[in-house]
């Protein structure tokens, strides 16, 4: 049995054998003695103790809770002997142990850790830290940020998230680990000497000079930059708040107009999502989370810049990132699951003869049960509306073409998708679309519909009107913007539909006869 004692090393409690404690105490005391005249000695000692604690932690587990003599000797061998930096040290007396320490220190491999390098950074040190981690020029990282900003602005959000999530390298040990160097005595001493030499020669990094100048309250440029930074922060903060409020109102209020495809849609977000996803409430929450978390990040950053607040805890930031990533993955899964319900396609076609023996027929297009006239200028961009327990889609594609039959007739093709062929067939059969005949006039609705209890599965309607050769058809109203095609013997132009137009069927195609007088 051996007696143990408890020590506090870099804020961590360790159980250590008493004889080992004396060895470790003397080792740290020697370090303090040798580096007593070194600038920043307290920081160096703190870094060294943190590194020793880290090495002890690697050697302990649930089956071994006490630091032993072999552990202390291994750690001292890795860290190196302080005697090699002592001017009164006799190299011959401890040459073997010194060489062994140096050799083990040299060969110990330390994985790089990702930190922000504020010493070499321009804004927050993100690019410099990433450059150290990937061993590339920081200019390349900065160019990539600019490219991301130019191709859609995602670089700003990504930079802000990296700024918040990646810790700053503050201690000497962290700055060495950022470069993949072991935090032993040799490297810590070399790093401290390099910083000291740099200070003596007066060479300063550009980022350091900016940082130093910002500490001077009488610097006019700095004051302007601070004000400018607060203005940007305030804009980001207010924009984030307004975006957050708008998003909540958009998702959870009973609004009845939203924008889709640059057009107004008579519905609300929840109803629109219910039209697509099977589990619409779950999908609504997932999409809401994906959209709201970036706004929360903007609010946090804006608050930090405007009110000089300290950044939120890493746990809070990491939790948001994890939730956001999980929501994106879930949304991708829901999207893939919904996409499988478009796998099969089914279409039906119905041919209907125009009753009566006519040499000419007239076609009226009805937009919301109102006949389109020459005086009206419709853009035909209201592709979707939900009202009266019915989903209206648009627009039915219409084609006019000649036929060798002696009578007028038309065909209506309805098509839809589904997870199975049976489901696709059921979806197509639920489409409501009917053409009304009044004498030699066909009243054709521009849009088709189905019950709001169904889901959108690519429902479409196409109409073909067949005109017997030698007979005419008049297309009433300004239909230039409508998806209507006339099969001509020359190239068809929608300019021919600016007002009511007359067409005659020939064996080579429809022939334009002019506008209706």
Q: Residues 267-305: pLDDT tens digits?
A: 567 777 888 888 878 888 889 888 888 888 888 888 777
Do both 284 and 381 map to the same domain? no
Do both 330 and 393 map to the same domain? no
Do both 252 and 400 map to the same domain? no
CA angle 91, 97, 102 (to 5 degrees): 90
Residue 152 within a domain = no
For range 405-433, the mean pLDDT: 92
305 versus 434: the higher-pLDDT residue is 434
The residues with which 370 forms a beta bridge, in sequence order, are 367
The most confident of the ranges 80-84, 259-263, 457-461 is 457-461
Q: Assess whether pLDDT exceeds 90 at residue 474.
A: yes
Cα separation, 90 vs 223, whole angstroms: 56
Cα separation, 96 vs 190, whole angstroms: 22
Return the axis-axis angle of helices 220-252 and 206-214, rounded to nearest 10°: 90
CB 352 within 8 A of CB 412: yes
Q: State the residue range of the domain holding 23.
A: 4-107
Q: Above pLDDT 70, what percent of the chain?
A: 76
pLDDT at residue 136, rounded to an integer? 79
Residue 233 within a domain = yes
pLDDT at residue 78, rounded to an integer? 75
8 versus 313: the higher-pLDDT residue is 8
Do both 362 and 501 map to the same domain? yes
pLDDT at residue 18, rounded to an integer? 80
Residue 156 within a domain = no
Do both 52 and 78 map to the same domain? yes
For 420-441, letters b (16+ CB in 10 Å) and e give eeebbbebbebbebebebeebe
Residue 264 within a domain = yes
Do both 229 and 99 map to the same domain? no
Do both 325 and 367 map to the same domain? no
User: What is the domain count for the chain?
Assistant: 3
Residue 39 within a domain = yes
Residue 469 within a domain = yes
Q: Assess whether pLDDT exceeds 90 at residue 510.
A: yes
CB 492 within 8 A of CB 501: no
Residue 299 within a domain = yes
pLDDT at residue 5, rounded to an integer? 83
Do both 291 and 322 map to the same domain? yes
18 versus 108: the higher-pLDDT residue is 18
**Which of 297, 316, 341 marks a domain boundary?**
341
Whole-prediction pTM:
0.54
| Torsion angle, alpha carbons of 79, 85, 91, 93, to 10 | -60
Residue 85 within a domain = yes
CA angle 159, 210, 189 (to 5 degrees): 90
Please tell me the chain's helix, strand, coil percentages from 3-state DSSP, rounded to the nearest 5.
45, 20, 30
80 φψ region: left (φ > 0), alpha (ψ -120 to 50), beta (else): left
pLDDT band, very low/low/confident/very high, at 216 (cuts 50, 70, 90): very low
For range 153-159, the mean pLDDT: 67
Task: Note if the bond before 395 is cis, omega within 30 degrees.
Answer: yes
């Amino acid at each position: 049995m051996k007696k143990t004692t408890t020590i506090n090393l870099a804020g961590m409690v360790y159980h250590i054998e008493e004889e080992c404690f004396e060895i470790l105490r003397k080792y740290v005391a020697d370090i303090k003695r040798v580096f007593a005249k070194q600038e920043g000695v307290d920081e160096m000692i703190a870094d060294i103790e943190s590194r020793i604690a880290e090495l002890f932690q690697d050697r302990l587990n649930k089956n071994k809770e006490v630091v032993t003599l072999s552990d202390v000797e291994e750690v001292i061998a890795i860290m190196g002997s302080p005697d090699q930096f002592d001017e009164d040290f006799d190299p011959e007396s401890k040459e073997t142990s010194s060489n062994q320490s140096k050799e083990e220190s040299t060969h110990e491999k330390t994985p790089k850790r990702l930190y922000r390098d504020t010493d070499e950074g321009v804004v927050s040190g993100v690019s410099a830290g990433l450059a150290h981690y990937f061993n590339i020029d920081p200019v390349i990282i900065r160019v990539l940020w600019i490219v991301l900003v130019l191709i859609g602005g995602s670089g700003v959000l990504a930079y802000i998230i990296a700024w918040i999530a990646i810790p700053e390298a503050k201690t000497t040990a962290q700055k060495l680990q950022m470069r993949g160097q072991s935090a032993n005595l040799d490297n810590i001493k070399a790093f401290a000497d390099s910083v000291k030499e740099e200070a003596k020669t007066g060479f300063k990094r550009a980022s350091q000079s900016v940082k130093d100048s910002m500490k001077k309250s009488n610097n006019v440029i700095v004051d302007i930059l601070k004000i400018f930074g607060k203005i940007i922060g305030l804009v980001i903060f207010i924009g984030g708040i307004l975006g957050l409020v708008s998003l909540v109102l958009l998702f959870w209020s009973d609004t009845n107009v939203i924008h889709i495809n640059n057009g107004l849609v008579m519905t609300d977000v929840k109803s629109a999502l219910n039209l697509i996803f099977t589990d619409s409430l779950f999908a609504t929450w997932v999409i809401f989370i994906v959209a709201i978390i970036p706004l929360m990040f903007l609010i946090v950053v804006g608050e930090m810049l405007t009110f000089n607040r300290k950044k939120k805890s890493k746990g809070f930031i990491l939790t948001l990132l994890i939730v956001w990533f999980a929501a994106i993955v879930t949304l991708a899964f829901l999207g893939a699951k919904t996409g499988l319900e478009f796998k099969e396609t089914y279409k039906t076609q119905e041919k209907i003869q125009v009753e009566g023996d006519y040499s000419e027929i007239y076609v009226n297009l009805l937009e919301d049960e109102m006949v389109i006239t020459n005086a009206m200028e419709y853009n035909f961009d209201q592709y979707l509306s939900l009202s009266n327990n019915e989903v209206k889609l648009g627009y039915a594609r219409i084609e006019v073409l000649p036929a060798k039959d002696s009578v007028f007739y038309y065909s209506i093709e309805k098509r839809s998708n589904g997870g199975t062929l049976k489901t696709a067939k059921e979806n197509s059969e639920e489409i409501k679309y009917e053409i009304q005949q009044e004498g030699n006039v066909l009243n054709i609705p521009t849009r088709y519909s189905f019950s709001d209890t169904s889901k959108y599965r690519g429902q479409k309607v196409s109409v073909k009107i067949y005109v017997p050769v030698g007979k005419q058809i008049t297309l009433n109203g300004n239909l230039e913007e409508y998806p209507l095609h006339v099969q001509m013997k020359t190239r068809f132009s929608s300019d021919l539909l600016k007002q009511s137009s007359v067409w005659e069927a020939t064996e080579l195609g429809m022939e334009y006869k002019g506008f209706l007088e």
